Every structure is written in C-alpha cells, then in structure tokens.
C-alpha cells in the first residue's frame, strides 16, 4: 500500500523566511500562488512581461517578475507553464539562475520522466501534484478543503526534499485531503494513461458517441445532451462519494440491469483493454511524449483541427445553449 500523508505530517514552518517562485499563472499557477499566499507564504510569480497573465497576477496582488529574475529569488521554483514549453524556458531562463540548495518543483513529471529537463546538481527536485484541475485546487481551498495530491522526490540534494514538498502541499491545501507517495515515473505514466483512456479521451468520445447515436436516430439535441453529457457528472458525483455500488444503490434497478447487460456490449472489456495496453505501451516507451513534442513544434496541426471540430460539434453548441438558459449550480468553479 502506497504511503499517505496528511496535514499532521507536514510542517509549514519549513517555508518560513523562504520565497516560493511560481512560474506561470494559468490553471495550476494561479491556484498554487493564491493558496500559498493565503497560507502566509511569500510568493513571487515568474512570467513573460508580454504575456496575458502578467496583468492578471499583478491585479491579484503578486510581485511579478520576468522568469529569470523570479527564478533567482526562489528557494522553491515551481514549474507551472505548459509541459511542452518547459524544457526551453528551463534551459534559457531557469537553470542558470537556480540557487544552490533550492528546490525545483513540478506538478506533473513529464519533462523529468522523459529527460527533456535533466535535474541540475545540488538542487532538490520534487513533484507536488494536485490530482485535479487548477480551478478546483483554488475553489476547494477557498471552501476549506483541498484536492488529493501526489508527492515524489526525484533528487534529495539537501536531505530535506520530502519535508519541503510536504510543506508546499500543506500550503496549497493538498494535505487537507491527503497526499499519496509516488515516483515521477509512476505519476507521469499513470497520469497520461488516465487522461487519454478514461478521463478525457475515453469519456469525451463516449459522450459524443451517445449524443450522436440519439440525435441521428431523430431524438432532440437537448434530450440527448441531458442524457449523455449533463447527467454524467451527477452519476460520477455518486461514484466519487459512495463508489460504484453506492451509485448503483441510488439509480433504479432498471438502470442497474441495463448497466450489466449493455455495458459490455458498448465497452467489450477484452478489446478495450487491448486498445488501452497499446496506449500504455506508447506512453511507457516515450512514443506519445515524442509525438506530442513534435506536434507542438510543427505548429500543432492535428491539435488545432481537433479542437475546432469539438468546438463546432452539435453536442458542444447544445450544451452552451442550455447552460445559458438554465441555472445548473455547477459548483463554484471560476474559469479565470
Ligand atoms: P496553463 O496552460 O494553464 O498555464 C499557462 C501559463 O504559463 C500562463 O500563465 C502563461 O502565461 C504561462 N506561460 C506560457 N508560456 C510561457 C513562457 N514561455 N514563459 C513564462 N510563462 C509562460 O498550464 P497548466 O494547465 O496550469 O499546467 C501547468 C503544469 O501543471 C503542467 O506541468 C501540467 O501538466 C500540470 N498540471 C495541470 C493540471 C491542470 O489542471 N491544468 C493538473 C495537474 C497538473
Ligand atoms: Mg492528469
């Protein structure tokens, strides 16, 4: 059983008198920066002076500096810019400016796992990764909760890397929920696998297929949207809180019988698992990482085409229309 840590295992005093530099002010960046600041920690934000986030971070009351200067100040430097940009920014602006005995931190192990960033000598390297979107990391913190998080130490130069990482996770609220110990390799590979096969890749295509089958059969777009997209969250909320058995307890026996007989027709386990193993193999041998880095470098042709296709899809347009007409109380998530 993997080791778990909670608030009582974390000593935030470890960050007294230290500066935490947050590089990037997007989904994760704004959440880490604000949560740490609210926890009484001294935060500096590192950005491109020409970027859109610069003004946003300033308006939120942070000291904002160009990346190189911010990195110089940091006792902990947390990399929260997009994974595909980190290697270049790191080589040019961060590596030459890291203080000896400081810590380089990540919220995803991608660049370290695939060696796009090689840990520098004399610096701790750790992972402090909330297992949730950045906007939820912030909204949960504000409500007094936290998002379950992962911790991993790649390099323990100071002998205290784990204590520093635990203090950091306490500062962003992760310790309130629980912190699971892992490695950069395990976090990277399971994270990529989960988002590709189940959470994003799998689920979006499943919703889309359901929506298309119903609308192509002549049912209304609105009915199809509610059934195959909107209700997913309500079902998953039950799974999240009570497990699949708890969800099955709440739904009707008719729905539960349908789950048992039709689930395997739609998702034939043997075939689907074989397909998933193919995805996992590409993640493990670095093929996916290489393809993504190349896609990004060549101007993202596939990425842009697919993103536009989804934006124009009837499922998305129907959802937008319905959200404008109805009050759904979708938590208090703010997509800033
Ligand atoms: P994002 O795309 O939301 O953040 C982009 C930020 O980086 C912006 O503030 C932008 O101005 C800044 N930026 C972009 N290029 C820059 C440059 N060249 N120099 C300086 N700043 C630059 O990123 P994100 O989704 O928050 O992801 C950050 C990290 O967190 C990644 O490692 C990602 O894997 C990890 N992560 C993200 C999530 C999530 O919820 N999005 C969840 C878990 C882990
Ligand atoms: Mg993920």
**Which residues are within 5 Å of ligand 2 (an ion), measured at CB?**
191, 195
Distance 139 CA to ligand 2 centre (A): 18
Comparing C-alpha atoms, which of 196, 160, 210, 211 is closest to residue 322? Answer: 211
Ligand nearest the Cα of residue 82 is 1
- Per the CB < 8 A criterion, the answer to whether 12 and 39 are in contact is yes
Pick the catalytic residue: 32, 108, 135, 230?
108
* Buried residues in 318-336 as b, exposed as e (16+ CB within 10 A): bbeebeeeeeeeeeeeeee
Residue nearest to atom 27 of ligand 1 (CA): 82
Q: Which two tokens stand for residue 133?
A: 């979107």
Q: What local confidence, expressed as pLDDT, does residue 121 receive?
A: 92
The rounded distance, in Å, linking the Cα atoms of 20 and 74 is: 5
Ligand nearest the Cα of residue 54 is 1
The rounded distance, in Å, linking the Cα atoms of 161 and 51 is: 32
Q: What local confidence, expressed as pLDDT, does residue 83 receive?
A: 95
Residue nearest to atom 20 of ligand 1 (CA): 47
The rounded distance, in Å, linking the Cα atoms of 173 and 194 is: 23
Q: What local confidence, expressed as pLDDT, does residue 261 receive?
A: 98
Distance 249 CA to ligand 1 centre (A): 39
Please state the three-class secondary structure of the chain as a single string.
CCCEECHHHCCHHHHCCCEEEEECCCHHHHHHHHHHHHCCCEEEEEECCCCCHHHHHHHCCCEEEEHHHHHHHCCEEEECCCHHHHHHHHHHHHHHHCCCCCEEEECCCHHHHCCCCCCCCCCEEEEEEECCCHHHHHHHHHCCCCCCEEEEEEECCCCCHHHHHHHHHHHHCHHHHCEEECCHHHHHHHHHHHHHHHHCHHHHHHHHHHHHHHHHCCCCHHHHHHHHHHHHHHHHHHHHHHHHHHHHHHCCHHHHHHHHHHHHHHCCHHHHHHHHHHHHHHHHCCHHHHHHHHHHHCCCHHHHHHHHHHHCCHHHHHHHHHHHHCCCCCCCCCCC
Annotated catalytic residue 230? no
Distance 80 CA to ligand 1 centre (A): 5
Q: Which atom of ligand 1 is nearest to the CA of 106?
A: 32
Integer CA distances (angstroms), 90 to 44, 85, 118, 169, in order: 17, 9, 10, 22
The rounded distance, in Å, linking the Cα atoms of 281 and 293 is: 17
The rounded distance, in Å, linking the Cα atoms of 143 and 325 is: 27
pLDDT in tens, the chain (336 residues): 889 999 999 999 999 999 999 999 999 999 999 999 999 999 999 999 998 999 999 999 999 999 999 999 999 999 999 999 999 999 999 999 999 999 999 999 999 999 999 989 999 999 999 999 999 999 999 999 999 999 999 999 999 999 999 999 999 999 999 999 999 999 999 999 999 999 999 999 999 999 999 999 999 999 999 999 999 999 999 999 999 999 999 999 999 999 999 999 999 999 999 999 999 999 999 999 999 999 999 999 999 999 999 999 999 999 999 988 887 665 555 656
Distance 238 CA to ligand 2 centre (A): 21
Ligand nearest the Cα of residue 201 is 2
Q: Which residue has the tokens 């892992």?
A: 182
Residue nearest to atom 4 of ligand 1 (CA): 26
Which of 24, 107, 110 gets mutated to test ligand 1 (max ligand atoms within 8 A of its CB)? 24
Output the ligand 1 site: residues, CB below 6 A: 24-29, 47-48, 51, 53, 67, 80-83, 85, 89, 107-108, 129, 133-134
Q: What local confidence, expressed as pLDDT, does residue 77 receive?
A: 98
Distance 243 CA to ligand 1 centre (A): 31
Ligand nearest the Cα of residue 172 is 1
Distance 190 CA to ligand 2 centre (A): 8
Side-chain-facing half-sphere of 159: CA atoms under 13 Å: 0
């Amino acid at each position: 059983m993997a080791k778990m840590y909670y608030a009582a295992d974390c000593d935030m005093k470890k960050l007294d008198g230290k500066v935490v530099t947050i590089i990037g002010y997007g989904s994760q960046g704004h959440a880490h920066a604000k949560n740490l600041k609210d926890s009484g920690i001294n935060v500096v934000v590192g950005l491109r002076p020409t970027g859109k986030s610069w003004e946003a971070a300033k308006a939120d009351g942070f000291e904002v500096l160009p990346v190189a200067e911010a990195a110089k100040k940091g006792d902990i430097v947390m990399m929260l810019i997009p994974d595909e940009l980190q290697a270049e920014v790191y080589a040019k602006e961060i590596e030459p400016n890291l203080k000896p005995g400081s810590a380089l931190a990540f919220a995803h192990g991608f660049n370290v796992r695939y060696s796009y960033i090689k840990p520098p000598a004399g610096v701790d390297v750790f992972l402090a990764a909330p297992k949730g979107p950045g906007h939820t990391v912030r909204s949960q913190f504000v409500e007094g909760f936290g998002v379950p998080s992962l911790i991993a130490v790649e390099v323990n130069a100071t002998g205290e890397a784990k204590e520093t990482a635990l203090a950091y996770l306490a500062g962003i609220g992760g310790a309130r929920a629980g912190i699971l110990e892992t490695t950069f390799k395990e976090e990277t590979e399971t994270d990529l696998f989960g988002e590709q096969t189940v959470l994003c890749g799998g689920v979006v295509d499943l919703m889309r297929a359901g929506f298309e089958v119903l609308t192509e059969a002549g049912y209304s777009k609105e009915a199809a949207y509610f059934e195959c997209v909107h209700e997913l969250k309500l079902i998953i909320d039950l799974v999240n809180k009570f497990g699949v058995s708890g969800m099955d307890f709440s739904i009707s026996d008719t729905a539960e019988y349908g789950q048992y007989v039709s689930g395997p027709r739609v998702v034939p386990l043997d075939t689907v698992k074989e397909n998933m193993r193919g995805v996992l193999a590409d993640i493990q041998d670095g093929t996916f990482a290489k393809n993504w880095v190349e896609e990004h470098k060549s101007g993202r042709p596939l990425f842009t085409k697919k993103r536009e296709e989804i934006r124009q899809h009837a499922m998305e347009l129907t959802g937008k229309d319905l959200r404008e007409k109805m009050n759904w109380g979708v938590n208090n998530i703010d997509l800033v």
